[in-house]
Every structure is written in C-alpha cells, then in structure tokens.
Structure 1
Amino acid sequence: MTTEAMAATISDDEIVMRASSLPELDGYPTVDELLERVEALREEFPDLVTKRRVGTSRLGEPIMQYTVDGGTDADDRRARCLVVGGIHPNEPIGSHTVIRLIDDLLRDGSLRERLHAVWHVIPCIDPDGMRLNEGWFDEPFDGETYFRHFYRPPGHEQVEWTFPIDYKKKYFDATLPETRALQRAIDEVRPDLYIPLHNSETGGAYYYLSPDARDLAPLLHRLPAELGIPLHLGEPEASHFTELAPAVFAAGTSEDVYEWRVQNGLDPAPPGGAGQSSTSYASRYGTLSLIAELPIWRTFGADDTQPSGTNYADLLREAGEALVGTGTHLCAVLDSIRSSLTIDSPFLRSAEAFVPGMTRAGQHMIDRAEDPANDRVAIVAERPMSVVWMYRLRFGGALLRALRAEVAAGSAPATVRRAAADLERSWNGWLARRDSDERPEGIPVTDVVGVQYGAVLGLVAHHAHRVRTHARLEEAS
C-alpha cells in the first residue's frame, strides 16, 4: 500500500454531507423496480461491476449478487464488504440504500478508492416475501394502507433467522433456499464487514454494532441528529442486548443469547424457535457487522428521557394484560374456524405463528411488572403499549388478510365470513386508538435512507482508517 493511498480518507463530515444531500425520494421501489435499477447500472458500467447468481427463491426468482471492486492494487488491504437488502421483506428502506450506494460507487472513483473495499451487494434476498408488502410502498405513511398490506413471515420462514445452528440443546437445519444463497455468499466472501439492511416501524433510530467497531457510535448519533430523526431511547427490542452507547446495542451471537437465557432461568431453546441470525453466522469469520434500524414513523417521546410521572411496572402490566387478552381472543377465533379454511396462504401461516406469540409476550410483560427493579417512574420514551399496537395491527391484520382471501376466493362458509367481519371492526378500532396513542408522523423517505446510507459509508470508512493506521504503524516499526 502506498503512502498516498494510506493518507486518503473519507471524513465523518463528508459522510454527513453525502447522507444529507440525497435527491428527494417518494415511497419505495417494488422488487422489479429495484432489480431493474441495479441491472441498468451494471449495463452502464460493465467494466466496474459484475454479477453472479447465488441462489433461487422458493418461487423461482434468481437471486443475484453484484460486485464493485474499489481499488487498483491487487495486493492491498481492501476490505471485503457484503451488503444485503430485503433481509426482512417488510423493510424496504434498504432498497433505496442499495441503489444509492452502487450508483455513487460507480460514478465516483475517488469514493471507491478512499473507502478501499470490494463491495458485494445482494439487492434483495427475499423477493417473494417483499412482493407481499408492495401494496403499501407507494403510501408508506398511511397507517391503514401500511397495515392492510403488511406481511411478516413466521420465524422459520425468515431468511434472517434460518441459519443453521448446533449449540448445546439448540439445533436447527431447516434452512430456506434464500438462506442457503446468503450462507453461500457469506462463506465465499468471508466478509470483513457485513451490513444487512433492516428497518424498524415506529419510534426513533437505533443500531446493532459489533463491539470492536464501537468507535462508530458518535457518527451513528450524529447522522439522525443532522436529519431530524430522534434516537430510540426506550427499551431495546429484547432484554439481552448490551448497550454500547445510547441507542447502539452490541450485535451478539445466538450462542450469547442462549447463555443469557440460561442465566436468567429461561428456556434456551423454546418450542417454535428457528435458527441463528445472519450476523451471528457471519461472526465465525471475524466479521464486523452493522444494522441501522430506521423507522417509518417517528412517535411522540421516542427520545425523551424525562420522567413521565407514570409507574413503569403499571405500564408493563397494562400492556401485558392487553396483549394476553388480544392473543387469547384471536387464538379462539383461529381455533373456531381453522377446519373451514381452504387456502394455505403466507398470511395464515404468519397469523398462526405470531398470534399465539401475543399471549407469551404479554405474559412476559406481566411477569416483568412483578420485578422490584421496574417499580419506578418510567421515562417518556418507555412506551410498552407500542408493542401492543404493533402486534394487534401487524398480526391481527395478517389473520384478517387470510380471512379476506377466503372470502374473495368464494370458499368461505358463514362462520369465516362472520369472523372476518368481526375482526374487521376490531382491527379498525385498534388502528384509530393507535393513531391517537402513538401520534405517529411519517419520516421523509429521503431522511431515513440518508441515515442508513451514511451508516454504511461510516462503517467502511472507519474500518479503512483502522487498517491504514495499523499499516502506518507497521511501516514505522
């Protein structure tokens, strides 16, 4: 590596500038639009980008990997970077991030050189699942449109959570074709840096980051602040996550989670569990990972750490009882009509997986309410009812979508039609109450994409800086 190459860098200021200067974006591209945009870039720059097929989806869609080689010296220390979109099919922010990343790398030779990486990009790893969400991509801020067209596969049908694992009592090998495609890419690339493109739903921005890359935290805070997006300063998604910095959590392994559950008296391999995550699988290669979770909506108080005046245990108990009640009711509905259902739709499988989970999640909240540590004043950002609205609208909506499919197919007996009508009334009431309780406000697409794009550049730039610093020290010695 030459001295000139070692000196080249991309600063946090430049990353923020790039993240803040994206062209205006409106809605999210469909799978076909995403793949057409990426393929058009490859055709425009055939000398800079190559592609290869790494797998096939369950419905026969080719899964492609594009490679942009950012460097001129075959013997240098370019990072191997793997970026994957559509890792959860209801999370399309990464589709814009993929397009912007490839476009900038191909058009800006200076950026390619200074980031000093070989980029491997899979634009969409679960095209079949993402197509089931496309009904809301043009109107992402309309709650009714969003939740009526929302789809989230059950755990054993998620690419992210079906990597094989054999650890103590936890065993899983029912990998999906899409998972095997991504597993193959990870095994072949052996990435130094792995970035699966996720997003959240409501609240503020938060991240999962390999602890060895914790120096990135200040930039991860600065990016949303510059673009007017709050940090998520309430509870993490699960109790086992270790906080590296506010709204930045350690990206651990499935083995770590297993041991945490054992230490806390929980079943380390509960029934219905799937495999390990893609970041956990990639960690076998010493890979540094980053997940930038950006929300579709900001909600009231997401970053407010002031006392709310409400007891936190009471909030947990209220939310838990609401979830248990809803889960119990919807399970009863499912039990009463299951024998009359004729369509094995993805929406029915989603409902059958997640509706019972409402009761378990609710009971866990009730149990936590008995913990003396939670008998305290909650901060404003701690809003357990947000989980209730998410479960009710997402997975009550999945059941409603399944029942409406039966009705539309003309195969629904009277019991199914009545169940669909009753659930429609309940679901509409939940939507109205969610809007008044959460006060969601759509975040401009350009801004959330900017933060995610900046985070991707930041991880690679900081890694390049560490490598160059190490190389200078080696030269000096």
Structure 2
Amino acid sequence: MWRCALPPLHRYPTVDELAARAAALAVRSSGDVRLRRVGVSRAGTPLWLLSVGRGARQALVVAGPHANEPVGGATVLRLAERVLADPRLTAGADATWNLLLCLDPDGLRRNEGWLNGPYTLGRYFRHFFRPGFLEQPEWLPDGADGAALPETRALLRLQDELKPFFQCSLHGVDVGGAFVELTRDLPGLCRRVAHAAARLGIPLELGPYDTLYWPRLGPAVYRIPPPCPRDLAAAITEAAVESTWYHPQRHGTVTAVVEAPMWGVTAVADGSPPADRDGALRTVSHALRRDARVLERVLARVRPHLDGVPDAARLLAPVDDYLLVCPGLADAWDPDTADPLRPLPPLSTAHLTALRIAGGRIAVRTAGLLHQLVTRAGRDPAGALPELDALIDGWCAGYRDDCGARWIPVARQAEYQARVVLAAFHLAGARSGESDWGSQPVVPMHRE
C-alpha cells in the first residue's frame, strides 16, 4: 500500500508549495502519478494537473477557482494521497483522477499575506483579494467561445479532452457553513454530507445566500439551475451566466461544487422558523444600504489619489462590483421593497443568518480592498485608513461576537471536503452503472 512521506498540512499551501508537493508525489509514485502543465495564467504561472490512476473513466477536480478560497489546494493533495492508498478508487473503479492544483494561481499569490496565518478575521480581510467578476475563471459571461481568460480556456480544453463523468469544483466559505451544489441530483449525498460535517464539527449551511432561489435537494445540498441570460448584477450575485460547471454537461458530466467554511457559524444550521422574519430582513437590508453609503463616501475620497498605485485597477474592479450589487440586494431582501413577481422563498433562522453574513461580507471585503489600496499608495491624504480600520474591526467583531464565528483548522476543512468529494465520486459512478466501488467497504479516513 502507498505510504506518503509528505508531512501533513496544517495551513493553506501557497502556489509554489502546491507544485512542489505534487511533483514529490509524482516522483515517488513509480508511474502511478503524472504531473503535466495544461496551461498558463495571465502572469505566466503554470497550471498543473496531477493525474492519478490509469482508468478509462475520468474524474476532474478543480481547486482554487476563487482566489480567496485556498482550501481546495490542501484538499487535492489529500485526495491524491487517498487515491494512491486505495486501489478501489482507481483500478477498482476503472478511473483516473485528474486534480487541477489551482485554477487562479495569480489570485492565490495575492492572498499570501494571510495564507500562513495567524488566522484572524481582521488579518484575512485586510489581505483579502478576489478579482472582479469578469476576471473569475469559472464564469463564461460571453459563452465558451468568447472566453477571454487563459485560465478559463485551459479548463475548457481540459474538460473537452477528458470528458469526465464527474467534475468537482472546490470552494470555500469565509464565514458560515458547509454546503454542496449539484448540476443534477446524486441521491444519497445529503446523508453523507451531513455525516462528514457532524464527524468533523462543521456546521451545515441550511440557507446559503448563493442558493436562495435554487431548488433544494436535501439539507445543505442544492441544484444549480441551468444558466440563463441576466444582467451583470444578477450574474455576480446568482451565478446566472454560463459557467464551466455546466460546460461539460454535453459529455454527460455531473458537477459538484463543494463549499467548506473557514470560520463556522452555528446558527447557519438552525432550520427553525424565525420569530420576526420581516423585522430581521429590514435590519439586514437597512444595514447593507447604510454600509454601502459609508463605503461609497470613502471610495470617493480615496479614488482621486490612486494614480500610480500598483494594481489599483485590479483592486478597484471588485470594489466597484460589490458596490454595484448592494442596492439591488438590499431592495430584494427588504419586505417593503421586494419585487412581488420574485418573492423570497420561505425563510428559516438559517436563511436570515446567512443573509446577515452575506451583507456584512460585501461590506468588510470592500473595506479590506480599500485598505490595501490606501496602504499601497504609501500615503493617506484622504485620511481614510483610521476609518477603514475602525470599520473592519467593527464588522469582524460582529462576526465573532454576535454571530459566534469560530476558526475551523485547515486540516479539518480539507478532510471534510475530501470526504464529500469521495462520496460524490462514488454516487456519480454508481449512477452511471459503471462502477461498484461503493458497494465495497471503505477504508476509514483519519481525523486530524
């Protein structure tokens, strides 16, 4: 049986560490593992694919599609070790595992200010980076033929080359809980997700903001609706455009998007009816409007002083995206202004908690990006830094003290995500009728 000599990861791997660890696995595997470059990023960083096994049926796992969600890198390394240790996952399933180490390495490098810890909310948001919507490589706002980013084109080529029966996209939730999104149902996955989360002490998110209008397949498992033409604001908030999640469906692929939280909040798992639904919605929407106005004033003071600041345009793009969507979100959540033709679904305490977290997330991310812009300028003629520091500290304290956000160790985040990926792989294979791997006893996974 394969014995991995690599030390365990207790922090998020950087771009360079991912490549080095994958290369070490390939060297030690006697041909069971291959590492190849499948493209390059906009900055020229290689996009590395680690393939394990020689089976005819292809599974594709994509890590790092969002720059600020680094857990996927730790997860793919863990998956590679698991797959090497259990031949039922390769030869026994006639499968090859293809692990894309990081889809947005340039963005991940921009998060290295917080990757190594200490893991505090303030440190995370002050060093947070996530590109603007049009620079996120999973989205296809102009369709596959119009894909502009080299990272996107590389993934599309890979999907069409492999024609995977199963694809998984690894995501992270900065504050909240765990959930899964599927392009089609995998019966039995809800139970396995709940079991993995319970064993590892990770809250399930029963009403994610992302899936507010999406069909629910079971607790914390949701079906991704087919893409439809919408405006940019809707696309940013609802993933309404075409994406690489749906692109390989022409090959019969089922896609699972697995979300693992960094800071967990117990209340996102509370499915009870709220005491005052409308009052809570008004509070959340009013807070979002107030916070957006504050941030717009800060931005107006800061923007004239950003000429010559390195990467100012790249940092401003997500700021503008976030402030663009705030009015529409606040109106959609407010019972006094909501569109009667698109009413909110029945809401639980979990939903209201998730909306509160989402509103705060937009505000504190925007403040963190503005903080970086002012810091990079090397001067603060607008006097914005003290105000931004106070805003970030206050919003982080709200997450910590009011929502009860608690840090989940990296090893547990990755272990949860790996368990869910393996469960979805089995169910997708069983659905196709081409594998009976899941009928055999599974080697227990260790808990760190």
- 1:153-174 CA-to-partner distances (Å, cap 9, x unmatched) read 11001112246428xxxxx825
Contact 1:163 1:179 in 2 (8 A): no
Task: Report deviation, 1:365.
Answer: 1.7
Counterpart position of 1:405 = 376
Task: Report deviation, 1:445.
Answer: 2.2
SS in 2 for 1:353: helix
Distance 1:24 1:189, change over 3 A: closer
Distance 1:377 1:363, change over 3 A: closer
CA distance in 2, matches of 1:470, 1:156: 39
Contact 1:313 1:375 in 2 (8 A): no
Distance 1:376 1:368, change over 3 A: farther
Counterpart position of 2:261 = 295
Q: Which amino acid aligns with 1:304?
A: D
CA distance in 2, matches of 1:313, 1:217: 30
CA distance in 2, matches of 1:101, 1:30: 17
1:44-83 mapped onto 2 (5 Å cutoff): 44-71=28-55, 78-83=56-61
SS in 1 for 2:64: coil
* 1:433 paired to 2:398: yes
Distance 1:209 1:381, change over 3 A: same
Counterpart position of 1:5 = none
Gap regions ≥5 residues in structure 2: 1-5, 437-448
- 1:416-463 CA-to-partner distances (Å, cap 9, x unmatched) read xx1233222222222223322111111232222112101111122223
Match of 2:201 among 228, 231, 236: 228
Task: Report deviation, 1:33.
Answer: 0.9
Gap regions ≥5 residues in structure 1: 1-21, 72-77, 167-171, 259-267, 472-477
CA distance in 2, matches of 1:300, 1:68: 37
Counterpart position of 2:279 = 314
Task: Report deviation, 1:132.
Answer: 1.1
Counterpart position of 2:318 = 350
CA distance in 1, matches of 2:89, 2:380: 61
Counterpart position of 2:72 = 94
Task: Report deviation, 1:117.
Answer: 1.0
- 1:270-329 CA-to-partner distances (Å, cap 9, x unmatched) read 4695752210222222211111111111113221223442x1122111111111122122
Task: Report deviation, 1:115.
Answer: 3.4
Distance 1:437 1:189, change over 3 A: same
Counterpart position of 2:385 = 420
* 1:382 paired to 2:352: yes
SS in 1 for 2:137: coil
Distance 1:376 1:131, change over 3 A: closer
- 1:25-83 CA-to-partner distances (Å, cap 9, x unmatched) read 42211111111000111111241122332211111111122222244xxxxxx421111
SS in 1 for 2:171: coil
CA distance in 2, matches of 1:25, 1:236: 30
- 1:236-289 CA-to-partner distances (Å, cap 9, x unmatched) read 42433110111100133213xx4xxxxxxxxx2346957522102222222111
Q: Which amino acid aligns with 1:457?
A: L
Task: Report deviation, 1:377.
Answer: 8.3
CA distance in 2, matches of 1:370, 1:314: 14
1:274-285 mapped onto 2 (5 Å cutoff): 276-285=242-251
Contact 1:312 1:374 in 2 (8 A): no
Contact 1:85 1:123 in 2 (8 A): yes
* 1:334 paired to 2:302: no
* 1:198 paired to 2:176: no
SS in 1 for 2:261: coil
Contact 2:268 2:349 in 1 (8 A): no
Contact 1:297 1:443 in 2 (8 A): yes
Contact 1:163 1:281 in 2 (8 A): no
1:66-215 mapped onto 2 (5 Å cutoff): 66-71=50-55, 78-139=56-117, 141-162=119-140, 164-165=142-143, 173-215=146-188
Contact 1:209 1:251 in 2 (8 A): yes
CA distance in 1, matches of 2:226, 2:47: 26
SS in 1 for 2:364: helix
CA distance in 2, matches of 1:378, 1:126: 35
Aligned-residue RMSD, C-alpha: 2.7
SS in 2 for 1:382: helix
Q: Which amino acid aligns with 2:80?
A: I
* 1:305 paired to 2:271: yes
Normalised TM-score (structure 2): 0.86
Contact 1:156 1:273 in 2 (8 A): no
Contact 1:69 1:119 in 2 (8 A): yes
CA distance in 1, matches of 2:326, 2:9: 35
Contact 1:316 1:369 in 2 (8 A): no
Counterpart position of 1:40 = 24
Q: Which amino acid aligns with 2:364?
A: L
Counterpart position of 1:449 = 414
- 1:405-426 CA-to-partner distances (Å, cap 9, x unmatched) read 112xxxx4622xx123322222
CA distance in 2, matches of 1:188, 1:92: 26
Normalised TM-score (structure 1): 0.81
CA distance in 2, matches of 1:376, 1:61: 45
CA distance in 2, matches of 1:43, 1:376: 53
SS in 1 for 2:315: helix
Counterpart position of 2:367 = 396
Bigger shift: 358-367 or 26-35? 358-367
